[in-house]
Amino acid sequence: MISIIAPVYNEEHVLHELHRRVAAVMDGVGEAWELILVNDGSRDRSAEIIAELHEADARVKGLSFARNFGFQEAVTAGLDHASGDAVVLTDADLQDPPEVIPEMIAKWREGYHVVYGVRASREGETWFKKVTAAAFYRLIHRITSVNIPLDTGDFRLMDRQVVDAICQMRERNRFLRGMVPWVGFKQIGVEYVRHARFAGDSKFGSVRQMLPFALNAVTSFSYLPLRLATYLGFAMAVITPLAMLSVVLIRLLTPSQALLGQATTLLAVLFLGGVQLICLGIIGEYLGRIYDEVKGRPLYIVEQRWGVQKSGERR
């Protein structure tokens, strides 16, 4: 069986079309399938539509969160409840075309455990989103020790073994695009064209929405920001004695009144104060995440279920 998981946040206008396209594609594959729709606290009619779809077609299953917990949590809940031998993650908005899924299944049958979709091009997205996304994937690729493939979103097929491994990773502030390559196994990409949204607006279009995602990605997979403080400290420790020496020489060898007064002192103090605050903030970012882990709260709270078992839920 193949499970297809789609997180849903205010997607009332796409769900019927999503079901239609997924059903058309999956009926051609000739394997049992289920479509798990995870309603992430939508404020529109998404929950009712999921209920309707489940009524009409028992292969559509779903659950509703008690509030908006976020994309990563919604996908995690889907993985927890999926019963397929392979699981496909896709966005509900049809930006990831279901027509690519048979290609992924073919690769899976060849023996690959993870088949991820590589965005050969992106349609209907702002240049700002494209530029920041391209920069982000390259940065994260450079600074993490995990080999996170470039231009790859969450659209991917995962074998049951991989899903089980991911389900054991209950970290908060999750970054699934890093967790899947971290797990290992045989992974391969297939290229596809990322289409424009079928309807509705992007929930990750502005800096305010993308920044927390990027921060989670960096802090989950890299200590580089923390090391930056150490590097800066060493740089200062090397530069400062040289500066001291030059001050002494200038005072001894020139009659000028240079380097007197408060301005120089003030600038140095303010500059170092700024650097120290930034370093504290970086430590704070990691500290806050440690605090989240220590609290050990569940990743999501389910309010309603359609065709899935409560026992699927994990903390």
Residues making contact with ligand UDP (CB under 6 A)? 6-9, 11, 40, 68, 70-71, 74, 91-93, 95, 202-204
Nearer to Mg ion by Cβ, of 93 and 159: the residue is 93
Name the DSSP class of 85: S
Site map 53..92 versus Mg ion, x via CB under 5 A: --------------------------------------x-
Nearer to Mg ion by Cβ, of 29 and 193: the residue is 193
User: 187-202 burial string, b = 16+ CB within 10 Å, else e?
Assistant: bbbbebebbebbeeeb
**DSSP code per residue over 159-217:** EHHHHHHHHH---SS--HHHHHHHH-S-EEEEEEEEPPPSSS--SS-SHHHHHHHHHHH
What is the rounded distance in angstroms from the CA atom of residue 41 to the CA atom of residue 196?
A: 23
In the complex, what is the shortest distance from the CB of residue 8 to ligand UDP, in angstroms, rounded to a whole number? Answer: 5
Binding partner selected for residue 92 from ligand UDP, Mg ion, none, CB under the kind-specific 5 to 8 Å limit: ligand UDP
**DSSP-derived 3-state class of residue 305:** strand
Report whether 286 contacts 226 (CB < 8 A).
yes
In the complex, what is the shortest distance from the CB of residue 39 to Mg ion, in angstroms, rounded to a whole number? Answer: 16
In the complex, what is the shortest distance from the CB of residue 48 to ligand UDP, in angstroms, rounded to a whole number? Answer: 16
**DSSP code per residue over 268-281:** HHHHHHHHHHHHHH
Nearer to ligand UDP by Cβ, of 113 and 216: the residue is 216
Nearer to ligand UDP by Cβ, of 20 and 227: the residue is 20
Binding partner selected for residue 2 from ligand UDP, Mg ion, none, CB under the kind-specific 5 to 8 Å limit: none
Nearer to Mg ion by Cβ, of 74 and 146: the residue is 74
Site map 133..172 versus Mg ion, x via CB under 5 A: ----------------------------------------
Nearer to ligand UDP by Cβ, of 128 and 204: the residue is 204
In the complex, what is the shortest distance from the CB of residue 25 to ligand UDP, in angstroms, rounded to a whole number? Answer: 17
Q: Which residue has the tokens 């989103």?
A: 129
What is the rounded distance in angstroms from the CA atom of residue 146 to the CA atom of residue 254?
A: 55
In the complex, what is the shortest distance from the CB of residue 81 to Mg ion, in angstroms, rounded to a whole number? Answer: 22
In the complex, what is the shortest distance from the CB of residue 202 to Mg ion, in angstroms, rounded to a whole number? Answer: 6
**DSSP-derived 3-state class of residue 90:** coil
Report whether 86 contacts 112 (CB < 8 A).
no
What is the rounded distance in angstroms from the CA atom of residue 276 to the CA atom of residue 293?
A: 26
Residue list 87-116, contact with Mg ion (CB under 5 A): 91, 93, 95
Long-range contacts of 255-263 (CB under 8 A, 24+ apart): none
Q: Where does this chain bind Mg ion (CB under 5 A)?
A: 91, 93, 95
